[in-house]
Structure formats: C-alpha cells, structure tokens
C-alpha cells in the first residue's frame, strides 16, 4: 500500500535504493536553470567537448537542457550516487612508480555501467510496486542527461571547480545515476558550493585542463584523452600523461573534501588488485585474447587493446627507462598503427640518437600514412633540439 505522506514515501524510496547498494538518494525537478543552460552552450561553442559529438548534437543538447522532455509527464528526477574506493596509492606514490601504469580508481573494478544498470532496474521494479501507476526510466551516464547539475540542485553535492560532484561528508569518488519518474515527489534543497578560495585542483592538473574554475576543457583533460579520444594523442600533451594509462584522479586526490573520502563497506565496484598499477611490460605483451581476459568486465575493455597500448607506450616513453627498449621495438612491429606510432615516440624519448636512426630506417617500410606523419613529427622534434 502506498504510504500516506511524502516523507514516508521518500524514506521508503531511499530504503529501496540503499538495499540495492546506492549510497545517496536525492530528489529534484527535471529543470535545468537558464544559467546552467547558457554555461553548457558556451562550453560547446568553445569546442571544449572535443570529439564528443554526442555533447554537441542539437537534439541531444536540447534534451540535456530540457530534462522535462526525456519522458512524457516526468515530474521528478531521483538522483542516485554510488561510492567506489578511493585510489589505493597516494598521488605521489602512484606517479613515482614509473614501471607501472596508473588506472583511475573508478575503473579498477567491474564496469560501473553494468553494475549500476542492473541495480537500477531492480530499484525500478520495486518502485513500480511502491508508486503504483507511474512512468519511469533509468539512466547511467549514457543518456543525454546533465547529471551533475541535477545532482547539485537535488542537494547531493556541488560541482567542484574540477567539474565533479562533491558530497560534503563523503567526497567525490562516486558514480551517478538517475531515475526519471512521472510520480510527483517532494524535492530536496539544492546544495551550495563549498570550494571557496581553494585552487588545488587547478594547480595540480598536469595539462592545465581546468581552464577556469568550474570549466574543464576536455581537449586537454587526460581523463578524456586517454579514454574517449580514439586517435593519436597530441604530441604536446604526451609528456604530461606521466604513467597515467586510463583516466586521471589527480584533481580528486588533492581535493580537501576527499581527505576523509568514503570507502564503501561493501564495495561492489571494488578495485581488483591486478588493476592497481599493473606492470607496463606485462600490458604491452597482451595480445587481443589476453587483453580481453585481463580486462574482463572492466571499463578498460571499452578502450580496446590498441587504445590502452597507445597509452602504455606513452607511459614507457615518459619513464625514460632503458628497460622498455626491447618491448617497444617489438611494439614498433605491432599490426595496429596507433601502437606503432606511439612506440616510435616512446623510443625517441628514451634514447633519442639511437631511435632517430632506427626510426629513419623504419620509415622506409612503414605503409600507414598517419604513422609516417606522426614519426616524422617525432623526428622533427629532434631537429628542433
Ligand atoms: S582529470 Fe586530470 S587532466 Fe583532467 S582535469 Fe582532472 S587533473 Fe586535469
Ligand atoms: S580541490 Fe579545491 S577547488 Fe578543487 S574541487 Fe576540491 S575544494 Fe574545489
């Protein structure tokens, strides 16, 4: 039977979401303020969405700015958050271990899309029983939803200067999801931002991707470049990658609100130990089959072998460690052009004089025009020295 008042109803919904391992549950209207709509427009106009065409496609932009049109008669958005473990290594320890690669903390366990979607559906099934006749739809990251502004106006947490949602008690290591429903539920109060005069995330960002407080230029952000960007990594940014091979946690690791970051009691997104700083050499030896086995059910799998090994080659180059020369020479013969180009760059970082001779030889047989261009650019860099 439906509880009589809104407070009981909300509390029943919260209990259901908790039972399915969502740590946070807040309620808001499906409306994005004019100010935030304008901010989104400006971000896209300035090209900061990089190659994420789904962010600039007009119908999807319209829906992002008008969540009330996502579902007919939608009245409430239930914003949900699920925490994952903070990084197992400190920022300095992780970056200093140059023979190993850093994978962002959220990506060290099972793919959150799969984990959360399954649980969202279970929540939705229970809501059908609780709310009776109502329409609803669930979303995790893949739909045109401005989820962080919605989370802020729902009171879950504010969008920090690094653009991510921060819960004032539990920090920012959390993934978001939403349920849009036609049920008219009491909303929660928006939360104010509490970054104050802090600038830590802006100062630590290795590529200066936080171009102004609350504005992240994806074209510069390692999280975007190492995961979403499918092609060659711009030469000017490769050295800033350090040994980050999938995503980047730097701006979250320095954030004072993560000093007491929440570690879930029962972390269903818990990191697998083998994904905490895997050895670069081991990764570079993965063929397609071994890659799929090693990253089974992991979000890293979506990057595909060629994308990950591109990043691994960059990390090897940045290490300047002669240990990697042989494995990089093998990678120069890989069938994937992306891997060959970045292996060539890496060899040049480690041993410029010898690599220049080797790459000049390699160019005589290299058939892929993009790889040729990229290696010529690498060697061109040598001429400027
Ligand atoms: S994820 Fe990394 S590169 Fe992107 S804004 Fe944060 S610190 Fe900068
Ligand atoms: S590091 Fe400072 S400025 Fe950046 S999000 Fe955290 S509190 Fe805000």
Mutate to test the pocket of ligand 1, among 159, 161, 216, 218 (most ligand atoms within 8 A of CB): 216
| Residue having the nearest C-alpha atom to atom 8 of ligand 1 | 205
**What are the pLDDT digits (tens) for 51-109?**
999 999 999 999 999 999 999 999 999 999 999 999 999 999 999 999 999 999 999 99
- Res. 3: pLDDT tops 50: no
Mean pLDDT, rounded, of the chain? 95
Predicted confidence at residue 4, as pLDDT, reads 54
**What are the pLDDT digits (tens) for 346-362?**
999 999 999 999 999 99
Alpha helices in 154-207 (DSSP H): 200-204
**What are the pLDDT digits (tens) for 161-181?**
999 999 999 999 999 999 999
**What are the pLDDT digits (tens) for 239-298?**
999 999 999 999 999 999 999 888 887 778 889 999 999 999 999 999 999 999 999 999
Predicted confidence at residue 384, as pLDDT, reads 39
CA of 345 to the centre of ligand 2 (A): 34
DSSP calls for 133-160: S--EEEESSSSS--HHHHHHHTTS-EE-
C-alpha span between 258 and 194 (Å, rounded): 13
In the predicted model, what is the mean pLDDT of residues 110-119?
Answer: 94
Could you tell me if 262 and 23 are in contact, meaning their C-beta atoms sit under 8 angstroms apart?
Answer: yes
Which residue is listed with tokens 């320890």? 93
CA of 195 to the centre of ligand 2 (A): 5
Residue ranges lining ligand 1, Cβ < 6 Å:
162, 205-207, 209-210, 216, 221-223, 248, 250-251
């Amino acid at each position: 039977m439906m509880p009589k008042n809104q407070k009981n109803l909300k509390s029943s919904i919260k209990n259901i979401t908790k039972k399915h391992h969502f740590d946070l549950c807040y309620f808001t209207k499906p409306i994005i303020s004019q100010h935030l709509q304008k901010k989104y427009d400006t971000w896209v106009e300035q090209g900061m969405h990089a190659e994420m065409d789904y962010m600039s496609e007009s119908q999807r932009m319209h829906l992002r700015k008008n969540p009330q049109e996502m579902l007919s008669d939608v009245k409430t958005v239930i914003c949900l958050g699920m925490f994952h473990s903070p990084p197992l290594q400190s920022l300095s320890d992780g970056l200093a271990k140059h023979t190993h690669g850093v994978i962002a903390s959220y990506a060290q366990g099972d793919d959150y899309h799969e984990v959360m979607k399954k649980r969202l559906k279970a929540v939705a099934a229970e809501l059908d029983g609780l709310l009776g006749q109502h329409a609803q739809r669930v979303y995790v990251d893949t739909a045109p939803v401005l989820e962080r502004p919605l989370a802020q106006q729902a009171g879950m947490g504010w969008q920090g200067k690094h653009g991510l949602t921060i819960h004032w008690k539990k920090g920012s290591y959390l993934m978001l999801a939403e349920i849009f429903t036609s049920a008219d539920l009491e909303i929660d109060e928006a939360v104010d931002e509490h970054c104050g005069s802090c600038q830590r995330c802006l100062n630590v960002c290795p590529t200066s991707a936080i171009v102004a407080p609350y504005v992240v230029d994806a074209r510069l952000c390692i999280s975007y470049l190492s995961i979403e960007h499918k092609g060659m990594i711009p030469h000017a940014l490769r050295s800033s990658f350090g040994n980050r091979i999938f995503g980047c946690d730097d701006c979250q690791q320095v954030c004072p609100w993560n000093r007491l970051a929440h570690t879930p009691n029962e972390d269903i997104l818990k990191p697998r130990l083998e994904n905490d700083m895997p050895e670069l050499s081991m990764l570079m030896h993965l063929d397609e089959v071994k890659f799929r086995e090693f990253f089974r059910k992991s979000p890293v799998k979506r990057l595909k072998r060629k994308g990950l090994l591109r990043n691994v080659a960059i990390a090897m180059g940045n290490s300047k460690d002669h240990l990697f020369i042989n494995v990089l020479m093998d990678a120069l013969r890989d069938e994937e052009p992306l891997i060959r180009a970045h292996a060539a760059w890496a060899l040049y970082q480690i041993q410029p004089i010898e690599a220049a001779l080797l790459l000049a030889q390699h160019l005589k047989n290299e058939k892929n025009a993009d790889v040729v261009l990229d290696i010529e650019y690498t060697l061109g860099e040598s001429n400027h020295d």
